[in-house]
Amino acid sequence: MSSHAHTGGSTVHAPMAEPSGFIRKYIFSVDHKVIGIQYFLLALTAVVVGIVLSLLMRFHLVWPNATLPFVSGGQMSQEQYLALVTMHGTIMVFFVLTTAPQGGFGNYFLPIQIGAPDMAFPRLNMLSFWVTFLAFVCIIAAFVVPGGAPISGWTGYTPLSGLGEITGPGEGWGQTMWIVSISLFCLASLLGALNFIATTIDLRAPGMSLLRMPLTVWGWFVTAILGLLAFGILLAGGILLLLDRSAGTSFFIPAGLVVNDQLQAHSGGSPILWQHLFWFFGHPEVYIAILPGMGVASHVLSTFARKPVYGYRAMAYAICAIGFLGFMVWGHHMFVSGMSPYSGFAFSVLTMSIGVPSAIKTFNWLGTLWGGKIQFKTPMLFALGFVSLFVSGGLSGLFLAQPAVDNMLHATYYVVAHFHLVMGVAAIFGIFAATYFWFPKMFGRMMSEPLGKIHFWFTFVGAYCIFMPMHFIGIAGGIRRYADASAVGFLAHLQPVHEFMTIAAFITGAAQLFFLFNFFYSLKFGPKASTNPWNATTLEWDTDSPPPIDNFGGHYPSVYRGPYEFSVPGAVDDFIPQWLEPSQVARVK
Amino acid sequence: MPSTIVTEEIELIHSDKGPGGGGFSVGGGDGGDSGDSSGATRVPQRAYITGMLIALAGILMFFMAFVSAYIVRKDMPNSAWIPLQVPRILWLNTLILVVSSFTLARAHSRFSARDDEGFGHWWATTTFLGVLFVAGQILAWRQLAAQGIFLASNPSSSFFYVFTGAHGLHLLGGILALLYVQFRATRKVTRGTAIEVVSMYWHFMDGLWVFLFLLLYLGR
């Protein structure tokens, strides 16, 4: 801590005592850093499960008749395939893409980056993690309940999800577990969002004005606002769906519905109503997954290009604009639901208007790189990969945003390719960039650069090999939920493309072992990290690696400038940290 | 009660002031009783007010999801909707809850005037009225059940039970918070904030109920 060059403005107090005892310290901890790591490890567990499920799906698509040792009956049934689809989507969207960037890194670094000792409500923070954990236990339990996992997709469309066992195995117990899990997840996310917002508003260090916050903080802050306004909607929808299933109400189930030759005793509900409730949550959820990644990408690009973020204000406002517009476009998921063409037109125009803030962000990322002294460290590679994937995936969104085109592409692999690139893989690249970037701060050791680079290239090339060909299958009419397309006449000739994608998926999946090895090996044997190994400027680099219990060891930083003061003309160093007093900045004589 | 509002604001501004002015206060601050729990005194009191405002926004969205579902579902073609005669006791319940907001405001102004006894009296009255309201709601449910109208009888009754049930649960939480403030939140530094925060919640639940009641009554 002797390296600290803070005086004057910062207040100094006796350091806080760490809680003693394993359980208080690591299990039921109220320290946001421990909770952040707990969220991260939960997401890491979930992503391993999610990847295994997707590899099973890819395997089944290419070798549908193969005998598998762990499947009852030897061959995978179509319902089992649909269960894989459902569980892969649910686990990845909720427990990876929502949990890791926001619950994990947001929890760990938001308080530190704004100079706070902890979240505003530490106990609430602990509660939201443990409720998330419970939700994860529930979703995993869906595999082992009678009937197995649900088959109605991560969107849980009614009436399939609302009628119980009669609509398929997994629609009994499995679907109930799914709804319970998602409802718990909503509750936990609401508590988390509340904490993030209050912390950002009220716990910023002196001098940390809104427009001096790192763009990562902007990302987490706006994400939390989206979560606050969106998760309550899904929670309400989940409650109504549960009542339809177990109490015999008819919110979502229409009259006269005959399933398996049995007339269902419901009257006059609306399946479309569920879609509205789900997507009013579901579209903001897409931005909940990607906005933190945008923040991390901006942060990392600036640090390793040794240049200020190009157009910082525009970047912050663009995050807000994307968040705001994200609430007005849910109807574009429902163009084929029979909605009025006028509504379709409105949703279409609003959807395409999101291209404007997205283009601002992309332009500014490129502007940040332009003329920079770029250091190709692993986090930088993943941030660059994020930009690449975000553009590749985002562009296909402009096609899908048009009702006339969407009529043809809806429910094909084109959609699957689109959202995997722009929301799935791009967000994962954001998570990887964050992991490689902040690992030294979180665990006090460096990760291996060579292993990181191998991991990057396999994953980057692999992701494109999996998802680019998928667009063509979609344009050719490949339906996304078919368990076996080889028997469908007009799709059979596309099987070689499926084979290519499956091989790419297995190679990419295997390459993640480089990451896992690097992560766990470096935890123990990585070279010790200094306080500020990347010569970065924001407050988390003003404290030990890993930070002490109260983040800054009894002193609290003051902030004197914006977050990205790199290569400032006239300064000796090519970076000026936020915490450095103006008088202490070394100038060229 | 304009005079009440003025004192409320003064109290708010007063409780806002932490040592150091700008950022958060560290380690104890004005009360001097730090070290009793981790983090509790490190957070400026205004964060609790902010937190409650944020929570209310989230709760509002939750109820609005039900409300929009109600509006959509009611006007669907073939909705099989039979308008529900709301039990008459709801008028009385509504009156009780509205009155409880006034007794709460009274308690608040007594607290501002440093009249602890008056505060305890009016605060307890509010709690009692809250319990009375919940009891009245349960009575309304029993009346409907006696007529053979249950959760699944008709979409209109489904929504009635969902609205009253979700609101009732939130109100029960409010009653627990009122009891907590009366008996447990005795630390001088935080008591004012606790009263402020719980009052916000209670008034919000009151207003929300009036809205839901009007929706159920006029929009049936």
- Amino acid (1-letter code) at residue A459: T
Global confidence as pTM: 0.92
Residues in chain B: 220
User: If you average pLDDT over residues B148-154, what whole number do you get?
Assistant: 93
Contact: A268, B80; criterion CB under 8 Å: yes
A447: CB partners within 8 A, 6+ apart: A378, A436, A439, A440, A518, A519, A522, A526
Distance between CA atoms of residues A102 and A97, nearest Å = 8
pLDDT in tens, A486-505: 888 888 899 999 999 999 99
Query: Which residues in chain A touch residue B163, judged by CB atoms under 8 angstroms apart?
Result: none
Average pLDDT, chain A: 94
Distance between CA atoms of residues A158 and A172, nearest Å = 14
Assigned token pair, A205: 């260090």
pLDDT in tens, B160-178: 999 999 999 999 999 999 9
Produce one character per residue of A393-411: b if its CB has 16 or more CB atoms within 10 Å, e if not: bbebbeebbbbeebeebbe
Inter-chain contacts counted by CB atoms under 8 A, chains A and B: 136
Distance between CA atoms of residues A140 and A160, nearest Å = 21
**Chain A: nearest CA to B24, how far in angstroms?**
6
Query: Which residues in chain B touch residue A254, judged by CB atoms under 8 angstroms apart?
Result: 78
| H or E, element range at A246 | helix A215-246
Q: Using the predicted structure, report yes or no on whether residue B25 has a pLDDT greater than 60.
A: no
pLDDT of residue A18: 74
Produce one character per residue of A284-323: b if its CB has 16 or more CB atoms within 10 Å, e if not: bbbbbbbbbbbbbbbbbbbbbbebbbbbbebbbebbebbb
Say if domain B36-218 classifies as CATH 1.20.120.80: yes
DSSP A107-147: HHHHHHHTT-SS-S-HHHHHHHHHHHHHHHHHHHHTTTSTT
Distance between CA atoms of residues A21 and B189, nearest Å = 30
pLDDT of residue B80: 83
pLDDT in tens, A182-222: 999 999 999 999 999 999 999 999 999 999 999 999 999 99
pLDDT of residue B33: 34
Contact: A269, B57; criterion CB under 8 Å: no
Distance between CA atoms of residues B31 and B23, nearest Å = 17
SS3 A408: helix
Chain B interface test: which of A32, A213, A240 (most B C-beta within 10 Å): A240
Contact A101/A40 with Cβ under 8 angstroms?
A: no
Q: Which of these, A24, A131, A144, A154, lies nearest to A419 by C-alpha position?
A: A154
Q: Using the predicted structure, report yes or no on whether residue B186 has a pLDDT greater than 50.
A: yes
Helix intervals (H) in A420-527: 426-443, 449-475, 495-525
Contact: A273, B61; criterion CB under 8 Å: no
Contact A71/A83 with Cβ under 8 angstroms?
A: no
Contact: B162, A276; criterion CB under 8 Å: no
pLDDT of residue B188: 75
pLDDT in tens, A282-330: 999 999 999 999 999 999 999 999 999 999 999 999 999 999 999 999 9
pLDDT of residue B21: 32
| Alpha carbons within 13 A on the beta-carbon side of A294 | 34
State the residue for tokens 């690097």.
A518
A518: CB partners within 8 A, 6+ apart: A447, A448, A451, A452, A455
Distance between CA atoms of residues B212 and B220, nearest Å = 11
Assigned token pair, A515: 């990451």
B29: pLDDT confidence band, cut at 50, 70 and 90?
very low
Distance between CA atoms of residues A406 and A335, nearest Å = 7
A48: CB partners within 8 A, 6+ apart: none
- Output the 3-class SS for A197-222: HHHHHHCCCCCCCHHHCCHHHHHHHH
Q: Using the predicted structure, report yes or no on whether residue A155 has a pLDDT greater than 90.
A: yes
pLDDT in tens, A446-479: 999 999 999 999 999 999 999 999 999 999 999 9
Report helix, strand and coil shares of chain B as percent, to nearest 5. Answer: 70, 0, 30
Hey, CA dihedral for A80, A136, A40, A116, is it positive or negative?
positive
Q: Using the predicted structure, report yes or no on whether residue B189 has a pLDDT greater than 80.
A: no
SS3 A494: helix
Produce one character per residue of A239-269: b if its CB has 16 or more CB atoms within 10 Å, e if not: bbbbbbbeeebbbbbbeebeeeeeebebbbb
> Which residue among A121, A236, A250 places its CB closest to the CB of B155?
A250
Distance between CA atoms of residues A416 and A397, nearest Å = 11
A481: pLDDT confidence band, cut at 50, 70 and 90?
very high
User: If you average pLDDT over residues A73-83, what whole number do you get?
Assistant: 90
Q: Using the predicted structure, report yes or no on whether residue A135 has a pLDDT greater than 50.
A: yes
Hey, CA dihedral for A409, A412, A414, A417, is it positive or negative?
positive
Distance between CA atoms of residues B199 and B207, nearest Å = 12
User: If you average pLDDT over residues A97-125, what whole number do you get?
Assistant: 96
Q: Using the predicted structure, report yes or no on whether residue B30 has a pLDDT greater than 70.
A: no
**Chain B: nearest CA to A532, how far in angstroms?**
25
A41: CB partners within 8 A, 6+ apart: none
Weakest mean pLDDT among A342-346, A347-351, B79-83, B194-198: B79-83
User: If you average pLDDT over residues B89-109, what whole number do you get?
Assistant: 97
Distance between CA atoms of residues B159 and B70, nearest Å = 7
pLDDT of residue A12: 55
Chain B interface test: which of A112, A124, A233, A281 (most B C-beta within 10 Å): A233
Shortest CA distance from B160: residue in chain A: A249
pLDDT of residue A267: 84
Q: Which of these, A54, A381, A389, A364, lies nearest to A215 by C-alpha position?
A: A364
| H or E, element range at A577 | none
CB-CB neighbours of A210 under 10 Å: 12
Contact: B24, A116; criterion CB under 8 Å: yes
Assigned token pair, A45: 């567990």
**Chain B: nearest CA to A418, how far in angstroms?**
29
pLDDT of residue B36: 36
Cα A352 versus chain centre, distance: 22
Assigned token pair, B159: 């929504």
B42: pLDDT confidence band, cut at 50, 70 and 90?
low
- Say if residue A546 is preceded by a cis peptide, omega within 30 of 0: yes
Provide φ and ψ at A293, rounded to 5°.
-65, -40
pLDDT of residue A14: 55
pLDDT of residue A21: 82
A15: pLDDT confidence band, cut at 50, 70 and 90?
low
Assigned token pair, A332: 């574009």
Prediction ipTM score: 0.93
Q: Using the predicted structure, report yes or no on whether residue B123 has a pLDDT greater than 60.
A: yes
How far is it between the farthest Cα atoms of chain A? 88
Residues in chain A: 589
pLDDT of residue A554: 84
Contact: A270, B44; criterion CB under 8 Å: no
- Amino acid (1-letter code) at residue A430: G
Query: Which residues in chain A touch residue B152, judged by CB atoms under 8 angstroms apart?
Result: 247-250
pLDDT of residue A343: 95
Assigned token pair, B161: 């039970």
CATH superfamily of A34-252+268-305+312-584: Cytochrome c oxidase-like, subunit I domain (1.20.210.10)
Contact A441/A545 with Cβ under 8 angstroms?
A: yes
Q: Using the predicted structure, report yes or no on whether residue B24 has a pLDDT greater than 70.
A: no
pLDDT in tens, A25-76: 888 999 999 999 999 999 999 999 999 999 999 999 999 988 888 777 788 9
Distance between CA atoms of residues B174 and B139, nearest Å = 20
| Alpha carbons within 13 A on the beta-carbon side of A140 | 14
Distance between CA atoms of residues A16 and A13, nearest Å = 9
Domain extents for chain A? 34-252+268-305+312-584
> Which residue among B50, B59, B80 places its CB closest to the CB of A201?
B50
Assigned token pair, A436: 């490689």
Structure letter (DSSP) for residue A241: H
Shortest CA distance from B55: residue in chain A: A194
Contact: A277, B39; criterion CB under 8 Å: no
Q: Using the predicted structure, report yes or no on whether residue A13 has a pLDDT greater than 80.
A: no
A2: pLDDT confidence band, cut at 50, 70 and 90?
very low
Q: Using the predicted structure, report yes or no on whether residue B39 has a pLDDT greater than 50.
A: no
Distance between CA atoms of residues A198 and A122, nearest Å = 12
pLDDT of residue B4: 37
**Higher-pLDDT residue of B36, A366:** A366
Q: Which of these, A244, A266, A241, lies nearest to B80 by C-alpha position?
A: A266
- Amino acid (1-letter code) at residue A488: V
**Chain A: nearest CA to B57, how far in angstroms?**
7
CB-CB neighbours of A444 under 10 Å: 16
| Alpha carbons within 13 A on the beta-carbon side of B166 | 24
User: If you average pLDDT over residues A556-565, what whole number do you get?
Assistant: 95
**Cβ-based interface (< 8 Å): residues of B facing A:** 20, 22-24, 26-27, 38-39, 42-44, 46-47, 50-51, 54-55, 57-59, 61-66, 68-69, 72-73, 76, 78-81, 151-152, 155, 158, 162, 166
pLDDT of residue B20: 32
Query: Which residues in chain A touch residue B162, judged by CB atoms under 8 angstroms apart?
Result: 239-240, 243
Contact A189/A131 with Cβ under 8 angstroms?
A: no
Tell me the range of A6-15, A20-29, A166-175 where mean pLDDT is highest. Answer: A166-175
Produce one character per residue of B98-109: b if its CB has 16 or more CB atoms within 10 Å, e if not: ebbbbbbbbbbb
Query: Which residues in chain B touch residue A30, judged by CB atoms under 8 angstroms apart?
Result: 38-39
- Amino acid (1-letter code) at residue A564: Y
**Chain A: nearest CA to B30, how far in angstroms?**
15
> Which residue among B59, B68, B152 places its CB closest to the CB of A247?
B152
pLDDT of residue A222: 98
Share of chain A above pLDDT 70, in %: 97
pLDDT in tens, A240-281: 999 999 999 999 999 889 999 999 988 888 999 999 999 999
Strand A262-263, strand A258-259: pairing: antiparallel
